[in-house]
Amino acid sequence: MSLSKFIGILFLLGQAVGCSSAQNSIPKKESKKPNILFIAIDDLRPELGSYGSEIARSPNLDKLASEGLQFNRAYCQQAICGPSRASVLTGLRPETSGIFHNYLKIRELHPDIVTLPQHFKNNGYESVYYGKIFHHGDLDDSLSWSRVPGPQPKSVVGFALPENQQLREETRKEMFSKYGDVAKYGLAMGPAYESAKVPDNTYADGYNTDLAIADIKKMAKKSDQPFFLGLGFHKPHLNWVAPKKYWDLYDESKIPMASDSTPPKDGAAMGLHPSFELRVRSGIPKTGKLPPELARTLKHAYLACISYVDAQIGRAIQALEEAGIRDNTIIIVWSDHGWHLGDMGIWGKATNYEIATRVPLMIWTPDMPDSNRGVQTEALVELIDMYPTLCELAGIEKPVHLEGQSFAPLLKHPEQDWKTAVFSQFPSPALREWGSYPLRPAMRETYFGPLLEEVELKIKAQQKEKWDRNLFENKIMGYAMRTDQYRFIVWKDRTLTQASPLYFELYDHKKDSGETVNIASSNPQLVARLMAQFKKEKEQHSLN
């Protein structure tokens, strides 16, 4: 039987499980199931006080971590919004789902898949969301939600300052005039940041928190039905806009910058991009390094957005307490991927390195042992593990198609031995657009042209006779395996399952936590051992 047919059967079984569970596990008053507050944050690396950040002001998330369980080594499955969220919400790894970039929709590829919120809805929960849970295009999935929010009012804006609104429109006109339709794929995004003296709900994250709080109050009155509430924050995704009071929490002159702003020595030339996503913003140089003053302001902006989101999360948790339902609500907070802030010389997500794949993840449950509250675990976990975990904690049968592993046992014994490896992947970042989409030919006619020529020259110099544009643009996948000690990246043609890898990267985290030197070529025996582990693990995880 082919893998695709097998997965199809699993999907149908999963639906059957969900439907039967919906009939048999309607919550009873005497054993009410816990509510779920499912908080997603976009583009947040572990730049929080509880994770050791020396600068971030994140009191509400720090408090949650001090009362729950924090995962210090949690990893996304692909460091880009769409594929990461698809993996979380379907329970499938990108290699299984085929969702590698932001323009693929879940229901188009897998119309019968039972998503995480759908599974809870099928099991008697009221399933609702505010903000960004699924990626754009999948947001209002009718099978997943009991109801969806209405359109945002005009008072909620992307930029509050008139000069920034005008700059965005002027840039948009200029880009379409110069480059035509290709400009609609993100060439005119306006300024990269804004500090405005406005209320929190001027921007979407504050507004959506207001809606979520109002809904928490309403749903708390339904004593016979638990809820699954997704609250998704857009920040600190670009553009970095936040009310001025959050900017004022920081002294810009004291903000530490990236400790190593150069690419890894002997790292894969295809593994780093030219910061495409940031460069499409107004006022950002289209080539070359960023001026130090601008780089510092950008990190200030990122930090301000973290504090802005942290404040909203505090408000949502306070609403649970005021409604008297905190003690029957599981709170889980996660980010879809990390972000390079000049680290390795780039700005953005979309790599296979630690800085882009490691994410904050924390959970609070009403019944976790008091002795474990505030504990931090070093267990290796993946975002794909959240789906089965929440099912187990809620007492709901898990769909059979899930590829993650519940980490619920870690709430009782966070120090126990756990996974030996976790996995991420990304298709050749250097030759993909910022949404991980294959390069459109027209992009070469824009200011992306010189950047692409520069990275191509680096790849050709490293790969020599292996260079082929179609191969490197469309077929190369980097598979990253993170073990307790090592990050091991295998670059190969994903369309040829038996083909030998084109390149290896190996970083020893006991000696080189910043992944500054690729030691693969000088450690052939270690590479062979890790490759054997990679092959064994891939059979279990459907990695190609």
Rg (CA), the chain: 23
Going by C-alpha positions, the residue among 155, 156, 146 that lies closest to residue 215 is: 146
Active-site entry in 101, 110, 119, 135: 135
* DSSP one-letter code for 438: B
Q: Which phi-psi region, left, alpha or beta, contains residue 543 (left: φ > 0; alpha: ψ -120 to 50)?
A: beta
Does the pLDDT at position 24 exceed 60? no
Q: Beta strand pairing status for 227-233 and 126-131?
A: parallel
- CA pair distance 537, 531, nearest whole angstrom: 10
pLDDT of 31 reads 56
Q: What is the pLDDT of residue 294?
A: 98
What pLDDT was estimated at residue 541?
Answer: 65
Given this model, what pLDDT does residue 538 score?
78
In this predicted structure, the answer to whether residue 37 has a pLDDT above a threshold of 80 is: yes
Q: Is the peptide bond before 239 cis (omega within 30 degrees of 0)?
A: yes
pLDDT of amino acid 10: 41
Is 39 in contact with 18 (CB distance < 8 Å)? no
Give the residue-averaged pLDDT of 520-529. Answer: 98
| pLDDT, tens only, 258-281 | 999 999 999 999 999 999 999 999
Per residue in 71-85, pLDDT tens? Answer: 999 999 999 999 999
Band of the pLDDT at 497, cuts 50, 70, 90? confident
What is the rounded CA–CA span in Å between residue 505 and residue 271? 10
| Mean pLDDT over each residue of the chain, to the nearest integer | 93
**Alpha-carbon gap, residue 75 to 25, rounded angstroms:** 32
pLDDT tens string 89-113: 999 999 999 999 999 999 999 999 9
**pLDDT tier for residue 540 given thresholds of 50, 70 and 90:** confident
Question: Helices in 104-261 by DSSP H: which ranges?
Answer: 106-109, 116-122, 162-179, 204-220, 244-247
Collect all residues with Cβ–Cβ distance below 8 Å to 490 and sequence separation of at least 6: 478, 479, 481, 501, 504, 531, 534
Query: Is 340 one of the catalytic residues?
Result: no
| Structure confidence at residue 135 (pLDDT) | 95
Percentage of the chain exceeding pLDDT 90:
89
Q: What is the pLDDT of residue 404?
A: 97
Residues facing 193 on adjacent strands: 240
Residue closest to 333 by CA, chosen among 67, 100, 105: 67
Q: How many CA atoms lie within 13 A of 231 on its CB side?
A: 29
Q: Give tens-digit pLDDT for 278-321.
A: 999 999 999 999 999 999 999 999 999 999 999 999 999 999 99
Is residue 81 part of the annotated active site? The answer reads: yes
The pTM (predicted TM-score) of the whole model is 0.93
pLDDT in tens, 475-490: 999 999 999 999 999 9
Q: Return the DSSP state at 460.
A: H
